[in-house]
Amino acid sequence: MSSETVQQAGADPRAAPLQLAGIRRPAPLLAALRADAERMVALRDVGRALLGSRLLVWAAAAATIALFGFGPTRGAFDPSITRGSGWLGRVLAAPAARWDSAWYLVIAHFGYRPDLGSFTEPRDAFFPLYPLGLRGIAWLGVPAILAGVLLSTAALAGALYGIHRLTTLELDRRPDAGTRDSARLAVLLTAFAPMAFFLSAVYSESLYLALSVAVFWSARQGRWALAGVLGALAGATRSTGLVLLLPALVIYLYGPREDRSPDFERQGRARLLGRYRLRPDVLWLGLMPAGVALFGLWLALDGGSVLAPFHAQEVWGRELAGPFVGVWDGIRAAFEGVRQLLSFQTRHIYYPSASGSPTVAASHNVSLLAFLLMAIPMLVWTARRLPGAYLAYVVAALALPLSYPVPAQPLMSLPRFLLVLFPLTIASAMWLSSHPRAQRPLIALSALLMVVFVAQFATWHWVA
């Protein structure tokens, strides 16, 4: 396209290089965005939920520290994270840089160093994409903790937008699943979830959530190359990214899909054979395990083991006990925890596998079981209101932590695992949209729990 051609068409000659590159100028992009009512609604709902929830997180943490101080400094964790930040910096870092944040910051600065052997083995459990993002932002001169907050918050914004759009898409497919308010509720339930403060902390939860939502959106649109790349990035963020291959295959074979109509209309048992014929584009999904594979290969080439990311789970106390055996172990630990709390004493320990204070360990195991029980109706709603791929993803993702329990706390970190399983949130929002009287009380209760948990987290008490 020549400059004369552009001028004859009445266009700005400066736009020609952009047009040749297939890039639209900002003004038309903004105009197109404003013209799309659904996108504008999504942006508005996301903006309100993001701003309100993050202000609540930081306000709750700051108020807790003002009233009770910074709390115990758990060995070397606090100095290694907030040293040199000053009092104000330590206050602002309180809801963002605790516990596992130290590992991400250390990896971002020093790398994995597998050549040091057992000294750095615990690092291998933390996958590399999030620390790489931290390093990239910090390279621009941004302080490391602020870089993590910016990365996590940006990923959270993208995840909330994707959840809004994905919920709307599923409602268009099946209007009886919920009302048009479901998308807004899904965003609120995610932003104000009891553990949602992790989504703006120096943790990988928000990045993984954004990537997993994007995988589902890409698969629903039939954009298989993009789904494969995003799945590989999710696998480079957390080990559970591997299970995204299962729902992607389910969508490919059974739908629902927006890119083309089904090849077959099978009935009865024949439906198990699938509704879509395999085509060469299914090979793009072979990229999805690449993130995990490349991480293991890099560790091996640097003096470690290709299986180091999985062996590192043993360093953190996770052991294979059998499929979903962690559920039974968690119930038993919680039962003994209730007995411990009701005994009002610590001389006799009802659950000897737990370490530290018997009452603290008991309260942790009881609260972890409460989160598991809360997930059961959400799982039922997912099965009833969303396509089968969503349920397959949730069950497969939960199989990992529930089959590798920690003896002291069989359901350790389960609340954080549930936080990123967005199908549970979408299905809950669809149910809640049909029960308007329950909406404000449940969201308020969830926000209150988030305040309680972030107060504990900010003062160096273990949460999940």
Among the residue ranges 64-78, 256-270, 440-454, the one predicted with the least confidence is 64-78
**Residue 75 — pLDDT band, cuts 50, 70, 90?**
low
Structure token pair of residue 284:
């793009």
**Residue 82 — pLDDT band, cuts 50, 70, 90?**
low
What radius of gyration do the chain's Cα atoms show? 24
Count helices and strands in the chain by DSSP H and E runs: 21, 0
- Identity at 316, one-letter amino acid code: W
Structure token pair of residue 305:
């083991």
pLDDT (tens digit per residue) in 83-130: 666 778 888 888 999 999 988 998 998 888 776 666 677 788 899 999
pLDDT (tens digit per residue) in 351-406: 888 878 889 999 999 999 999 999 999 999 999 999 999 999 999 999 999 999 99
pTM, 2 dp: 0.90
Q: How far apart are CA 455 and CA 461, in angstroms?
A: 9
CA separation, residue 351 to residues 109, 188, 275, 318, 358 (Å): 39, 37, 50, 18, 8
Q: Are 244 and 258 in contact (CB under 8 A)?
A: no
Structure token pair of residue 154:
């940006």
Mean pLDDT of the chain: 88
Q: What percent of the chain has pLDDT over 70?
A: 88
**Residue 170 — pLDDT band, cuts 50, 70, 90?**
very high
Q: How far apart are CA 382 and CA 390, in angstroms?
A: 7
Of 156, 98, 17, nearest in space to 453 by CA: 98
Q: How far apart are CA 103 and CA 81, in angstroms?
A: 10
Structure token pair of residue 400:
């990992």
pLDDT (tens digit per residue) in 189-227: 999 999 999 999 999 999 999 999 999 999 999 999 999
Confidence at residue 5, expressed as pLDDT on a 0 to 100 scale: 45
- Identity at 198, one-letter amino acid code: F
pLDDT tops 90 at residue 256: yes
Q: Are 438 and 430 in contact (CB under 8 A)?
A: no
Q: Residues 18-34: what's their mean pLDDT?
A: 58
Top-confidence residue, 155 or 404: 155
pLDDT (tens digit per residue) in 421-463: 999 999 999 999 999 999 999 999 999 999 999 999 999 888 9
Confidence at residue 227, expressed as pLDDT on a 0 to 100 scale: 97
Confidence at residue 357, expressed as pLDDT on a 0 to 100 scale: 86
Q: Residues 297-309: what's their mean pLDDT?
A: 82
pLDDT (tens digit per residue) in 38-59: 888 889 999 999 999 999 999 9
Neighbours of 283 (CB within 10 A): 12
Neighbours of 354 (CB within 10 A): 22
Q: Residues 222-240: what's their mean pLDDT?
A: 96
**Residue 187 — pLDDT band, cuts 50, 70, 90?**
very high
Neighbours of 55 (CB within 10 A): 10
Confidence at residue 4, expressed as pLDDT on a 0 to 100 scale: 47
Close Cβ partners of 439 (under 8 Å, ≥ 6 residues apart): 185, 432, 433
Domain segments of the chain: what residues? 51-168+451-464, 204-315, 319-433
Neighbours of 404 (CB within 10 A): 21
- Identity at 249, one-letter amino acid code: L
Close Cβ partners of 2 (under 8 Å, ≥ 6 residues apart): none
Q: How far apart are CA 254 and CA 271, in angstroms?
A: 8
**Residue 137 — pLDDT band, cuts 50, 70, 90?**
very high
